[in-house]
Amino acid sequence: MTTIRKREIRKYRRRLHRTVALYLALKAWCAGINCIVLSRSELIKFFDMENTPGIRMSEIEKDMKPWFKGFKPYHRENNNTYVTWLFLLQSDDTSFLPPGSNLSTSPGVKKLIEGLAGGERKVILLSEILGETGVPTQRDMITELTLLTAGLMSPTSTTHIKLNS
């Protein structure tokens, strides 16, 4: 019985990870961005987690690979289960990012992004794309993606859709 439950949880998570990946890839594409940076709170909300264990982060990385080849989590110093920032890149080249957990603070991440602003890599905090609407629910992401797929909405006009619950 436990095996069936674990398998169903993994199927649910895989679908959620891929939905988030597609949603974020669309947002990156529309904004002309090569790399999106998620804060811990955004990561937790998007993936419906309470913490960021290594196994779950590996699952997320594997499931998002078709959309984001580069996956670079930054952990709290001396704590490999506490991701503070997650960099999602279109390419697998993460060589321009600092190693280790040098980016455990918000000013450190913002300084890195500012330093990359003039180059060919376009890096942005996800919060700058989403604005005040914040992290959408799974239902809102699927609704927006469905409207785009059906041609009822254009990618250039994508705005966060808030449904009445």
24-39 pLDDT per residue, tens: 999 988 888 889 999 9
Between these two residues, 7 and 31, which has the higher pLDDT value?
A: 7
Please report which helix (H) or strand (E) contains residue 97, including its range.
none
Give the rounded percent of residues in the chain with a pLDDT score beyond 90: 45
Q: For the chain, report the end-to-end CA distance as a whole number of angstroms.
A: 33
What gap in Å lies between CA 138 and CA 165, rounded to an integer? 12
Q: DSSP string of 137-163?
A: PHHHHHHHHHHHHTTSS-GGG------
Please report which helix (H) or strand (E) contains residue 34, including its range.
none
pLDDT bin (cut points 50, 70, 90) of residue 111 is confident
